[in-house]
Amino acid sequence: MAQSVKGMRDLYGSELRAFRLVEDTARAAFARHGYEEIRTPILEYTEVFKRTVGESSDIVNKEMYVFKDRGDREVVMRPENTAAVVRALIEHKLLGSSDPRLLFYIGPMFRYERMQAGRYRQFWQIGAESFGVSTPESEAESLLLLFEILKGLGLTQLKLSLNSVGTPESRPAFYAAFRAFFDAREPEYCEDCHRRIGENPLRVLDCKNDRCQKALEGHPLITDFLDEASKHHHARLKELLAALGIPFEENPRLVRGLDYYTRTAFEVLSSDLGAQSALLGGGRYDGLVKQLGGPDTPAFGWAIGLDRLASVVQQVKGEVGATPPALLVPLGEAAALEAAKLAQAWWDRGLPVQLDTRGLALKKVFASADRLGIKTVLLLGDGELAEGVVTAKHLATGEQTKVPFAEVPTRLSPAKA
């Protein structure tokens, strides 16, 4: 049988409705907050991600869909979108003014990884980025927006895991201290940790090996090595979040997989997702714009895993049901034409009415309507035609009434359809 490409899936039915629910909720929140949408291409030149996400990161190292196009250019299917958005802003010279530059995006990302529940090779992200503001207040605003979306979806149990990873200037001191700590008990750490200490030292901290965890007791904290400005920044953000009622817990061991983060880093995990528990993540990336050749611009942003959030929404709220419109069923040729005319007029007025053009026996029409979850069937036969009415049957109650054509629009308000 024909199959979709490994790791890529078709979205339809209740899962797609869950996606749309999340998207609609997010778009409404973005609009309230003054965030504008941006859409960038799926394909980017490899350099965009190599220079930003980090040469040593797994994403660049082993997960990118890289290939040569017919013009022999090396391109990559975007593994994330922040770097691409920054590239676009630089290219169109949209940075450098003091005007707010608040952007959001919704789209698919691609990473070549081993399949697992909640981990797909094409997955979707909803992201928000705010450029040009370095204050903790801007971060609080962005996180308020984020929690507004989660709350709008009925997810109130989620908690932010928060850390500050300092700046490129302050981090070396921490790394040195941590390395010294590691070296002192070096033989006690597992093989993976010996690899991690070179690539991303913080990763050692969340090793699942019991011996490693024991050897880590009393390790230096990155938050103790912050410069004064970063320390104040971090303290102020925590103060704001507490005052604004955003639930968070400090996690000095929090690490992110992308190299470009500075100061604030955070993520939200969900216990409803199995091993792939990361629901969303983000943080500050003050150096990224300059790194890609733009004006020195502070920035903060986050990305939600749409596939995973939709999954959590379905687990918490149950399947997202469809809401089909009423079904207008003509009986016979004369009625078929009249029904089309009526439907045409009603559609012009914005009414949700599905026109049945199958010409099936009524019992099949009703059986089908029942399966589709249709609430109201409007019958138009010769008798109705002569009277200028439709017979409206509510499937749930079996109740049947005659409704003059002119009254259908008021009777068919979306709530009653």
User: Which chain residues interact with RNA by CB under 7 A?
Assistant: 1, 3, 6-7, 9, 57-59, 62-63, 80, 111, 113-120, 123, 125, 192, 196, 200, 203, 207-208, 255-258, 267, 274-281, 303-305, 307-308, 331, 361-364, 366-368, 370-371, 379, 381-384, 391, 393, 395-398, 400
CB of 239 to RNA, least distance (A): 26
Are the C-beta atoms of residues 132 and 299 closer than 8 Å to each other? yes
How far apart, in Å, are the Cα atoms of 70 and each of 41, 67, 74, 111, 123?
Answer: 17, 10, 10, 22, 26
Choice between 99 and 387, CB closer to RNA: 387
The nearest distance, CB 91 to RNA, in angstroms, is 23
Shortest CB 93 distance to RNA, Å: 27
CB 58 to RNA: min, Å:
4
Query: In whole angstroms, how close is the CB of 258 to RNA at the nearest point?
Result: 6
Closer residue to RNA, CB minimum distance, 68 or 371 = 371
The CA distance from 95 to 6, in Å, is: 39
Q: In sequence order, which ranges of 38-81 are alpha helices (DSSP H)?
A: 46-50, 58-62
Between 168 and 359, CB nearer to RNA: 359
CB 150 within 8 A of CB 316: no
Nearer to RNA, 53 or 75 (CB): 53
Show the tokens assigned to 208: 């699942």
Is 393 exposed, middle or buried, given 0-12, 13-18 or 19+ CB atoms closer than 10 A? buried
Among residues 94 and 336, whose Cβ is nearest to RNA? 336
Give yes or no for a contact between 53 and 80, defined as CB atoms under 8 angstroms apart: yes
Measured from the CB of residue 53, what is the shortest distance to RNA in angstroms?
9
Angle at 401 between CA 351 and CA 386, to 5 degrees: 85
Cα(138)–Cα(101) distance, integer angstroms = 12
What is the C-alpha separation between 402 and 395, in angstroms, rounded? 15
User: How far is residue 16's CA from residue 57's CA, in Å, rounded to a whole number?
Assistant: 32
How far apart are CB 118 and RNA at their closest, in Å?
Answer: 6
Measured CA to CA, the distance from residue 285 to residue 129 in angstroms comes to 10
113/148 with CB nearer RNA: 113
Of the pair 79, 294, the CB lying nearest RNA is at: 79
| 247/274 with CB nearer RNA | 274
Rounded (5°) CA angle 177-250-209: 60
CB of 273 to RNA, least distance (A): 8
